[in-house]
Amino acid sequence: MKNKQNIEKVPLIGQTLKEIVHLIQEMGFPKFRGKQIFQWLYQHRINEMNEMANVPNDIRQKLSSSFIIHPLQLNLHTKSDQEPTEKFLFTLQSGEDIESVLMKDGKRNTLCISTQVGCAVDCDFCATAKMGFQKNLTTGEIVDQYIHVQNMSSRPITNIVFMGMGEPFLNYKNVISAADLLNHPEGIQMGARRITISTAGVVPKIKQFAEEKHKYKLAISLNASNEPQRKEIMPITKTHRLNDLMEAADMYYQSSGRFPTFEYVLMEGINDSLRDAHELARLIGRQPCKVNVIPYNEIGGIYRRPSDDKIKSFLSQLKNVPFQVTVRWSRGTDIKAGCGQLAVNSDS
């Protein structure tokens, strides 16, 4: 385990406007100072307390005695030689490591952020799953990935996807709080439609997400065309059955009016046959949705990416379906930044 970083001080990133206002009032300062500090943290993305130019020095000094700004420390920044994709390795105060990925595509500048150290869902084809589950990230540790990366990026981040390390809906409270901070009108101001939360299929949390009428987009890792196939590669299916998952996805659509996105990682000899394509079309039926077909990114295990001809053949069977189908070629695979490739060893 790495040395702990300023573990005795509490990070300010991750605190809500209400919490910061309360903190400032508890210190004996006026309420409006809390809003100023909130804006310095999230709009101006400061790194030092003394950067808060319009906040009196006595407030800054008092904050510095008990608080730090960032819960994360950036340890490594890696750029792809093949495309405009970058990977960031962060260390938590408690010593564990996580990764984030920034992908540029035309005018889109998308940040893929992590929500856990490791993952408990244990999808058989995913590198993160090989780490096992270590801990949930705090709200601040999730949001701070954006703060650090935006400070290093020459362009504004236009989209955020909760698709990095971990299962977001097994850290539901902190993930929703992080999305709310990213969306806050007095802070980062990321549009709700530019924030996507992904899940491997935690059915009760999808239903809660729908019932609470959150504004954020939903992506579901489907990856199979039938129940037995999905159980084999995604053990979560033993607890959350495929039919229940499809019903929960429809509930989200009925509640929000927004199409859920089904992610379908295409793996050779597993789910890439013409029969799989037909079964996928039947499974979804006329449910309003989008389907992202993702050719598999190899991680050195038994799974392989299908040949280009096999991918084309699979896609050809989905030409006339009543839902939108797109192909998402993962970026940054040369630096292991592609979908399913994120993994770190926190003990190194």
The residues carrying an active-site annotation are 99, 339
d(CA 111, CA 333): 15
Reduce the secondary structure of the chain to three states and give it as a string: CCCCCCCCCEECCCCCHHHHHHHHHHCCCCHHHHHHHHHHHHCCCCCCHHHCCCCCHHHHHHHHHHEECCCEEEEEEEECCCCCEEEEEEEECCCCEEEEEEEEECCEEEEECCCEEECCCCCCCCCHHHHCEEEECCHHHHHHHHHHHHHHCCCCCCEEEECCCCCHHHCHHHHHHHHHHHHCCCCCCCCHHHEEEEECCCHHHHHHHHHCCCCCEEEEECCCCCHHHHHHHCHHHHCCCHHHHHHHHHHHHHHHCCCCEEEEEECCCCCCCHHHHHHHHHHHCCCCCEEEEEECCCCCCCCCCCCHHHHHHHHHCCCCCCCEEEECCCCCHHHCCCCCCCCCCCCC
Q: What is the token pair recorded at 37? A: 């500090």
